[in-house]
Amino acid sequence: MRTYSPRPTDIERAWYVVDAKGEVLGRLSSRIAQILRGKHKPQYAPHADVGDFVIVVNAGEIVLTGSKGEQSLAHRHSGYPGGLTSVPFARLLAERPELLVERSVKGMLPSTTPGRAALSRLKVYGGPDHPHEAQQPQPLSLS
């Protein structure tokens, strides 16, 4: 039996829209990462980029369980000595919820070329509107 390897002509990319209102951040991110990589498809191969596009709306209304809002920190570094900046998740969720979702999904994707390509197919919006109506995205329930 030969190993299946999908050809570029075999790949069909669908568009999905996910409503993040009331969803838990970690569970939402892991399901989105699976769809971006294409693990839900029968033609999935770890070395091939067969994933779909995902649009996340209402990112400002996600839920952090426990005390992650106050205790968990998002770090960034300027590249200079002493340039580490830490922001609590609750503040990041209030100011830039898109960044919080993107960072969470990025952590669940491989840090390789297919992982970076999958992350480019993620579109996150803080409110209920998005500019991708022309792609006719299908609603995706996470439950």
CA nearest 24: which of 67, 62, 70, 55? 62
**Other beta carbons within 10 Å of 33:** 23
> Cβ of 117: how many Cβ atoms within 10 Å?
14
Question: What separation, in Å, do the N-terminal and C-terminal C-alpha atoms of the chain show?
Answer: 36
In this prediction, residue 3 carries a pLDDT of 81
* Residues spanned by the domain of 128: 14-64+104-139
Q: Half-sphere exposure of 58 toward its Cβ, with a 13 Å CA cutoff?
A: 13
CATH of the domain at 115: 3.90.1180.10
This prediction's pTM: 0.92
The reported pLDDT for the residue numbered 135 is 95
89 in a structural domain? no
C-alpha dihedral (46, 49, 55, 59), degrees to nearest 10: 40
Structurally, the chain folds into a number of domains equal to 1
- 8 assigned to some structural domain: no
How high is the pLDDT of residue 5?
87
Residue 57 domain flag: yes
Q: Name the β-bridge partners of 87.
A: 74
What pLDDT tens digit does each residue of the chain (143 aa) get?
Answer: 888 888 988 899 999 999 999 999 999 999 999 999 999 999 998 888 899 999 999 999 999 999 999 999 999 999 999 999 999 999 999 999 999 999 999 999 999 999 999 999 999 999 999 999 999 999 998 86
